[in-house]
């Protein structure tokens, strides 16, 4: 029987059917939909009820295609949440992590609670949109939600609640809040108290692979479908993606590549020390009682926003065409740090890139191909920088890099990444988050006994492309220029 994975990204979502047959995984996308944030007044929100509608449409399509499913799992992006009142009613539309209301809040919180203290308790990277700072805004603004709220649920938890009525939190997403203490295995009551948020909002934390309820009778009646079990998968989409990395050894480096790039390695326990804090690494929960020691990188967001800006100017390049223009442009002329804070907001990306280049004493791209080459080369070189830091923090040496996720469709970036790091890149599977979601559901059913067994089946089920490094000397010199213009310290 099939199982169903909902994989929600920052720009789109999909419902994917999974079938395991003859030790091979087969997947079928049954429903795809856009996930468009909504600007309401001065604030950016997620259209959570639209997402709920699309999840229901996925179940309807399962029914209409004559398929039957034995379980369902939902994964999504991290940090964002909704609040329910005592009656289980949603208090307001969840805010988008790019909403400006958290501007400057991290600095205010860490002025009151030392950053060292927060990191020692949570092991989580400092990012201005982390849930702890989003919640701190409620206290700072004396929000009505402080009196009305009774339950805190992150995005997959919230959607699962709408469908099942169960108010449950899941481990991998809970760890991203910077409010979960991996040493105690629970929410950190002291941090919640110090930011003024009631501990009572936060419920039991489920490990990936746990049962998480069944469909509400009202949903079964509305859709005319039979009951189905829900499984708490690795509900942070990167947690699901890492569960699908087809590594052959226990020690491996990965890059989950999409709007965000997340690079790191899988550990049995969090690495919380002065080095990991100084390098701003994070320890997020993973499937199978693991931790993902990783670092967030701005990723293809800059590239995507640049393409949207080209489109608004009437330049309708195909994906292959813009990559060909980048490949034909002169190499190693311009360098940016993709993680510069100026690149976080939406809009006007090329102007901000030009401002960065001017500020750092560089020239300006003379064509769209040169602009895109600047972005993709800088991203590949930043991957080298973070990979070397990952080796330092983890105490491991990696002989290759696994790239997974939709970003690996950008073959130029994969090839340049191999050359930048000077090591082979193994790219695949593309649908890593959905596959990892499915794998954890099969573990819940006892079909896979271990992560190694699941990864072996993934390797046999999906194509993995190998990219070998090229032009080693040219890329070494480029890395020197990259560190010079970005001010980033070289680690090798």
Query: How many CA atoms does the CB half-sphere of 183 hold within 13 Å?
Result: 11
Nearest residue to 154 (alpha-carbon basis) of 136, 188, 179? 179
Query: What does the DSSP assignment read for 24-61?
Result: EEEEEEEEEEE---EEETTEEE--HHHHHHHHHHHHHH
Q: Are 282 and 306 spatial neighbours (Cβ–Cβ below 8 Å)?
A: no
Query: How many CA atoms does the CB half-sphere of 286 hold within 13 Å?
Result: 23
Q: Are 109 and 132 spatial neighbours (Cβ–Cβ below 8 Å)?
A: yes
Residues forming the active site:
237
Query: What does the DSSP assignment read for 286-351?
Result: -GGG-EEEEEEE-TTHHHHHHHHHHHHTT----HHHHHHHHHHSPSSS----TT-GGGSSSS-HHH
Tally of CB atoms within 10 A around 200? 11
Nearest residue to 197 (alpha-carbon basis) of 113, 124, 144, 138? 138
């Amino acid at each position: 029987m099939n199982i169903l994975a909902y994989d929600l990204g920052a720009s789109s979502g999909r419902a994917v059917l999974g079938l395991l047959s003859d030790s091979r995984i087969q997947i079928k996308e049954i429903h795809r939909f856009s996930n468009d944030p909504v600007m309401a007044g001065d604030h950016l929100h997620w259209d959570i009820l639209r997402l709920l509608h699309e999840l229901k449409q996925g179940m309807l399509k399962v029914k209409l295609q004559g398929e039957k499913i034995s379980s369902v799992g939902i994964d999504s992006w991290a940090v964002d949440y909704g609040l329910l009142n005592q009656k289980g009613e949603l208090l307001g539309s969840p805010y988008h992590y790019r909403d400006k209301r958290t501007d400057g809040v991290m600095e205010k919180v860490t002025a009151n609670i030392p950053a060292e203290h927060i990191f020692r308790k949570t092991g989580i990277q400092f990012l201005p949109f982390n849930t702890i700072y989003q919640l701190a805004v409620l206290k700072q603004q004396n929000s009505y939600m402080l009196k009305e709220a009774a339950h805190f649920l992150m995005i997959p938890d919230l959607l699962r609640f709408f469908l099942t009525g169960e108010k449950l939190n899941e481990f991998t997403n809970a760890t991203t809040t910077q409010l979960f203490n991996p040493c105690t295995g629970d929410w950190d009551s002291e941090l919640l108290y110090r930011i003024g948020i009631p501990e009572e909002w936060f419920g039991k934390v489920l490990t990936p692979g746990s049962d998480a309820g069944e469909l509400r009778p009202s949903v079964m009646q509305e859709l005319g479908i039979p009951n189905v079990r829900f499984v708490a998968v690795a509900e942070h989409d990167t947690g699901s993606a890492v569960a699908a990395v087809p590594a052959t050894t226990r020690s491996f480096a990965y890059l989950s590549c999409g709007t965000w790039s997340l690079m790191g390695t899988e550990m049995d326990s969090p690495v919380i020390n002065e080095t990991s804090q100084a390098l701003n690494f994070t320890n997020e929960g993973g499937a199978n009682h693991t931790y993902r020691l990783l670092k967030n990188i701005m990723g293809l967001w800059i590239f995507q926003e640049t393409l949207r800006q080209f489109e608004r100017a009437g330049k309708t390049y195909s994906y292959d065409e813009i990559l060909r223009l980048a490949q034909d442009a002169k190499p190693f002329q311009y360098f940016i740090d993709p993680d510069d804070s100026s690149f976080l907001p939406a809009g006007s990306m090329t102007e901000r890139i030009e401002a960065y280049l001017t500020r750092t004493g560089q020239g300006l791209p003379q064509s769209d191909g040169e602009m895109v080459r600047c972005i993709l080369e800088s991203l590949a070189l930043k991957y080298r920088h973070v990979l070397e830091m990952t080796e330092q923090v983890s105490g491991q040496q990696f002989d290759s890099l696994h790239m997974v996720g939709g970003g690996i469709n950008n073959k130029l970036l994969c090839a340049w990444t191999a050359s930048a790091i000077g090591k082979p890149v193994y790219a695949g599977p593309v649908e890593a988050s959905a596959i990892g979601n499915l794998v954890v559901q099969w573990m819940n059913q006892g079909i896979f006994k271990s992560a190694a067994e699941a990864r072996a089946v993934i390797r046999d089920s999906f194509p993995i492309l190998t990219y070998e490094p090229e032009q080693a000397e040219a890329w070494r010199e480029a890395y020197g220029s990259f560190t010079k213009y970005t001010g980033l310290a070289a680690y090798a």
